[in-house]
Amino acid sequence: MRILTGNDLKTGAVIWWTGSDWSLHVADAVDVTGREDELARVEEAERRVNVPYAIDAEMHEGQPRPAHIKDRIRALGPTVRQDLTLKPADPDIRNWVI
Amino acid sequence: MVEQTPPAEGRGPDAGSLIRYREDEPVDHGAVTVDAFLAQTNASAVRVEPGDDVRELLPHLERLALIEVNFPAFGDGRGYSSARILREAGYDGELRAVGDVLVDQVAYMRRCGFDAFDPDAPLDEDDLQAALARWPEVYQSAADSRTPIWNLRN
Amino acid sequence: MYRYDQYDQQMVDARVEEFRDQARRRLEGKLTEDQFKPLRLMNGLYLQLHAYMLRVAVPYGTLNSLQIRALADIAEKYDRGYGHFTTRQNIQYNWIKLEDVADILADLAKVEMHAIQTSGNCIRNISSDHFAGAAADEVTDPRPYAELLRQWSSFHPEFSYLPRKFKIAVIASDTDRAAMRLHDIGIQIVERDGALGAAFYVGGGMGRTPMVAPCINPFVPLDQLITYAEACLRVYNRHGRRDNKYKARIKILVHEMGAEEYTRQVEEEFAHLLEQGVEPPFAELERIRTFFADPPFDAGADVALDRSDPDFALWVDRNTVAHKADGYVSAVISLKPVGGIPGDATAEQMRLMGDLAKEYSFDELRVMHTQNIVLPHVRKADLHAVWTALDGAGLGSPNLDTVEDIIACPGLDYCSLANARSIPVAQRISERFAANGKTAELGQLKVKISGCINACGHHHAGHIGILGVDRKGVENYQLSLGGSEAEDVSLAKITGPGFDEAGIVDAVETAADVYLRERQDGERFLDTYRRIGMTPFKEALYG
């Protein structure tokens, strides 16, 4: 599957396209295969997202998991500071990222 | 990538986006390429591309009334050096920045000796005034007449 | 240290308002991201892996306590309570909001700081020797020249859209503590017949094509310094490659054109520019120099030291460096705790370092390119108090220039350019050597880790260098040996096939063991490698 990501223009936060809006959580991302370019163009023009692009992902335990480690780190936060990630208390998160 | 550059038709005062900081009348005919200029003797306007060596023009400055310096992409800064070299050589005709010229670049271009601008996309008048009024002083010497801070101090 | 006058203050204030206006136009959609990007980069603002990142300039690495407290305040008010000191003596924040940036720049301007030209294709922050003004071996303090270059390069109208970024370092001793010859321009202030001049080294750099800069002029008179720099830059701006960003640095120009031809063109441009009168009045250099006069050292400072506390004595031996004034040392604050993140400091730690600088080091701190902090002028008699305070704050690691004192770029944990993580590798290596007890025996061993070929972690210049690469979506690490950023500059060579994360830590230990086995009296790791070559290391690593 392909999922669409970018950064919030004002805050810089990593965001994911949910089908109707943008979310901080990659778990909310939806498959946009075939519609990446059009969605990216429209959303960027409206400044709801900055530099959007699509990445490969696969479903993992019912939720999208980016295919590449870089996108997984981007989705969650730095592996060396779990306290700063979106899941500061999840003991299994390392296995999801690496 | 640099496009072929025919005489810049449609530019100039009639195009509507020309901004000039000169009192004299604009040259009313198109600029030719550096190669074309060097090959003929009657042109008084030339257009410099980023890869051109403007020093080739220096023997002929007295017959030039307009030098356009093209910026095919705003990030290509060779035109800033071209402008300063021309002014350092004493060229006092019109020096016009054309192409992908953005409002946030105009103040530096003025310092390098440009006194006219013909950007592809028109500049917002308020933004332009703000940009030109931005810097109270300058640190270094350039092609303008502003006194550097280090001369003001000492 | 240098202090702003009304002019400097006006200029940074104007820059704050310029950026405020540019950010507004971006948020309103009047600027596209493509148009905004070079503008924000020239104010140190990146869009990184997780958020915007702001890099704040620390000119020639010098800070006072007021400034580092302001940096601490910014970390707490606008970021997540910490900052990261970089290999170019700057500090960067990882979690910045675009809508806050102008306010941050305004806070910086209040303490005579800025983020001007800390990124972008322009002349970057000028770096220098972190022991400047304290080192016994310098011919003069290099920082006045760095400051003059800072002013000249700030908002330079001709050189703000260069082919690529441009980094300048200035030193003033034969010992190179600033990786001078791995800069686009390295300047060494030298003495000849009683007069000072500037030796220009041009075209060095790391990145994907590492090069050591050749000397193109051994002695530029100081009253022509700026004119010569201007000539170097103009030749580069006109002729540097713009068709391929990977070949756009000046090192490629100097290499392809040949140092001789580049030098000839610079000299020609220099002769021309001398007639243009672009040089600042010499009085300006004299004015700047007065700011860098020696602080009032205590001539009666006690030269003896109570070494009865062994932990303290170890720290003194490892982390303090001889000073030009009797009874003083320069003390290095390690930002490399075992298992920690190289170069990171919390707001509380920054405030403590500021307090110590204020009380014990004439209100001065330095950022090292090795991502540590220096208290440049500490009386030996005060060292125990300094160490006690540092140790209590996790800043007392006695590991300067050891295998634990690792340079590491942010890597894939933070950086959108990275291919692999750097920080965890640094953490595992320092943990490994702290546990196996070999750190002391290994002595000076500089380990440098980059998470991609851009080499922000200086891996080409590591006695042991590590480069993280992406091998089919899996992090992989190439080992290299024999680099040096110092006066014995050299570029490291790759040992062979790469390793996974666990494997690279083992490989570093294996290489260290080869050194311990093969070394002769007084040899550092680097010396042994240079004497015996790669083969014994390869045999141990892959044999």
Model pLDDT for residues C109-120, shown as the tens digit of each residue: 999 999 999 999
Q: Copy the structure tokens of residue B94.
A: 């019109």
Q: Find the residue in C nearest to A73 (Cα).
A: C413
Q: Give the least confident one: B39-43, C31-35, C234-238.
A: B39-43
Tell me how far apart the alpha carbons of residues C31 and B42 are, in angstroms, rounded to a whole number.
41
Find the mean pLDDT for residues B83-91.
Answer: 98
pLDDT at B17: 83
Instruction: Read off the pLDDT band of B40 (50, 70, 90).
Output: confident
Of all residues in chain A, the percent with pLDDT exceeding 90 is 97
Q: Cα dist. C381→C126, C325, C327, C363, C385 in Å?
A: 33, 13, 8, 17, 9
pLDDT of B13 over the 90 cut: no
* Average pLDDT score over residue span C276-282: 97
Mean pLDDT in residue range B85-113: 98
At B8 the pLDDT is 42
What's chain C's average pLDDT?
Answer: 97
Report percent pLDDT > 70 for chain C.
100
Q: Is B100 on the interface with C (CB under 8 A)?
A: no
pLDDT classification of C98: cutoffs 50, 70, 90 = very high
Provide the pLDDT for residue C66: 98
The stretch C511-521 carries a mean pLDDT of 98
Residue B12: predicted pLDDT: 42
Instruction: Say whether A50 and C427 touch across the interface (CB within 8 A).
Output: no
**B136 to C22: CB separation less than 8 angstroms, yes or no:** no
d(CA B12, CA C482): 60
- Compare CB distances from C473 to A11, A69, A81 and report the shortest one's residue: A69
Q: Out of C27, C416, C474, whose CB is closest to A10?
A: C27
- DSSP letters spanning C9-44: HHHHHHHHHHHHHHHHHHHTTSS-HHHHHHHHHTTT
Is B110 within a domain? yes
- Say what the pLDDT of residue B123 is: 95
CATH 3.40.50.620 fits C310-392, yes or no: no
Mutation test of the interface with chain C: which of B82, B112, B120, B154, choosing the one with the most C Cβ atoms within 10 A? B154
Nearest CB to C35; choose among B102, B124, B137 = B102
- pLDDT per residue over C408-428, tens digit each? 999 999 999 999 999 999 999
- Give residue B28's pLDDT band: very low, low, confident or very high (50, 70, 90): confident
* Mean pLDDT calculated for residue range A52-81: 97
Percent of chain C with pLDDT over 90: 100
Strands C52-56 and C320-322: unpaired
Residue C31, pLDDT above cutoff 70: yes
For residues A57 and A66, the answer to whether their CB atoms sit within 8 Å is: yes
The chain-wide mean pLDDT, for chain B, equals: 90
Residue B9 is predicted with a pLDDT of 41
Alpha-carbon distance C504 to nearest alpha carbon in chain A (angstroms): 17
| pLDDT above 50: residue C263 | yes
In angstroms, the CA C124 to CA C63 distance is 18
B30 domain-assigned: yes
- The CATH T-level fold of domain C127-289 is Sulfite Reductase Hemoprotein; domain 1 (3.30.413)
Of A67, A77, A80, the CB nearest to C50: A77
Backbone angles phi, psi at C81, to 5 degrees: 90, 10
Q: What residues of C are in the A interface, CB distance below 8 Å?
A: 26-27, 29, 33, 47, 49-52, 80, 95-99, 341, 412-414, 416, 418-419, 421, 423-424, 427, 470, 473-475
Predicted pLDDT at B42: 85
Query: For C14, which of B112, B135, B152 is closest by C-beta distance?
Result: B135
**Residue ranges making up the domain that contains B70:** 13-153
Note the maximum CA span of chain A: 39
Among C50, C82, C476, pick the best mutation site for testing chain A contact (most A Cβ within 10 A).
Answer: C50
Among chain C residues, the shortest Cα distance to B107 is held by: C157
By the CB < 8 Å criterion, does C160 face chain B?
yes
Across the beta sheet with C52-56, the strand order is C45-47, C52-56, C91-96, C82-85, C344-346
pLDDT higher than threshold 70 for residue C214: yes
For C364-380, write each residue's pLDDT tens digit: 999 999 999 999 999 99
Amino acid at residue number C77 = K
| Token code pair at residue C15 | 């820059």
Whether C433 and C449 have beta carbons less than 8 Å apart is answered as no
What residues of A are in contact with residue C51 (Cβ under 8 Å)? 7, 11-14
Note which residues in 383-442 of chain C have CB less than 8 A from chain B. none
Q: State which amino acid sits at residue C200.
A: F
Cβ pair B131, B106 in contact under 8 A? yes
Interface test with C, best of A5, A8, A9, A86 (most C CBs within 10 A): A9
Nearest to C467 by CA among C490, C485, C447, C486: C447
Question: Environment class of residue C85 by beta-carbon count within 10 Å: exposed (0-12), middle (13-18) or buried (19+)?
Answer: buried
Q: What is the CATH number of the domain that holds B56?
A: 3.40.50
Q: Domain C6-110: which CATH class?
A: alpha beta
Give pLDDT tens digits for C312-365.
999 999 999 999 999 999 999 999 999 999 999 999 999 999 999 999 999 999
> Touching check for B147 and chain C: CB below 8 Å?
no
pLDDT, residue B16, reads: 62
Q: Are C200 and B44 in contact (CB under 8 A)?
A: no
Q: Are C318 and C391 in contact (CB under 8 A)?
A: no
Q: Does C35 touch chain B if contact means CB atoms closer than 8 Å? A: yes
C52, A12: Cβ pair inside 8 Å?
Answer: yes
Average per-residue pLDDT for chain A: 96
- CB-based contact C333:C408 (threshold 8 Å): no
How distant is the alpha carbon of residue C339 from its chain centre?
Answer: 22
> What average pLDDT does this structure show over C480-502?
98
Sign of the alpha-carbon dihedral angle for C302, C303, C309, C312: positive
Q: How many domains does chain B have?
A: 1
Q: Please tell me the distance from the alpha carbon of residue C358 to that of residue C380, in angstroms, as a whole number.
A: 16
What homologous superfamily does CATH list for C407-542?
Sulfite Reductase Hemoprotein, domain 1 (3.30.413.10)
The token pair that represents A66 in the structure block: 């980016």
Residue among B77, B139, B151 minimizing CB distance to C161: B77
Substitution target from C25, C151, C161 for chain B, most B beta carbons within 10 A: C161
**What CA–CA distance (Å, rounded) separates C428 from C430?**
6
Instruction: Establish, for the pair of chains B and C, how many residue pairs have beta carbons separated by less than 8 Å.
Output: 106
The whole-number average pLDDT for the span C166-182 is 98
Q: Which pLDDT score, from 0 to 100, does residue C373 have?
A: 98
Q: What confidence tier does A69 reach under pLDDT thresholds 50, 70, 90?
A: very high
